[in-house]
Amino acid sequence: MKALALAAALFLANPVSAEEIPPRLFEPFETVCIPKKEVGFSWEQGEWVPKTYQPGKPFVIRKIVYENRKYIPPGGSCDLTVLRNTSKNSLGMSSSSGCYSVSTNPMSLLGILDECTEMKFGDISRIHCSEVTFDPNGLFIHMPTGTFLDTAKNPKDDYKDSLVMTTGECRTTGP
């Protein structure tokens, strides 16, 4: 927890532009994402009610690379054959699929594994995973969707999980 707090403090105290630390989209990297705002809906008395929430904890996203075995947990859920599946279109946009680990514990190399789409066009890079889209040195949007969203008009015990969207900023911290 101290490491995450230190990373967050350094991130906030020393703003760095993306030009100073270029995103290494097709190489291993680690980025810390700091939530700034959270909004969503809460199910109350049979209807969705708009809400503003307190931003959650920072989280760490690590690119998992086949050659770097320490980032590959046993039994991982990403198909390692997609790591080198890179293509470039006629406009010069590169895209590939990669495996990423998302964790709220910076000391743990194990997190939730996700196969993500990586895109790079000039100086702009975006990585889109199942619940988060981010620029390694820029903004992020996190929208947990869950496998089964309850659309019933009358849920059991009048309960549904809240729907929350988080926005904030990410900064690379190293490989």
| pLDDT at res. 47 | 92
Nearest by Cα to 138 from 2, 9, 25, 1 = 25
**In sequence order, what DSSP letters do the residues of 82-124 get, joined into one string?**
GTT-EEE-TTS-EEEEEEEEEES-TT-S--EEEEEEEEEETTE
Tell me the average pLDDT across 118-127: 79
| pLDDT at res. 32 | 94
| pLDDT at res. 48 | 92
Tell me the average pLDDT across 93-108: 77
Mean pLDDT score of the chain:
74
Residue 29 contacts residue 136 (beta carbons within 8 Å): yes
| pLDDT at res. 77 | 58
Q: Flag whether pLDDT at 12 surpasses 50.
A: no
Question: Cα(58)–Cα(16) distance, rounded to whole angstroms?
Answer: 18
Question: Cα(139)–Cα(33) distance, rounded to whole angstroms?
Answer: 8
pLDDT tens track for 30-47: 899 999 999 999 999 999
Q: Flag whether pLDDT at 52 surpasses 50.
A: yes
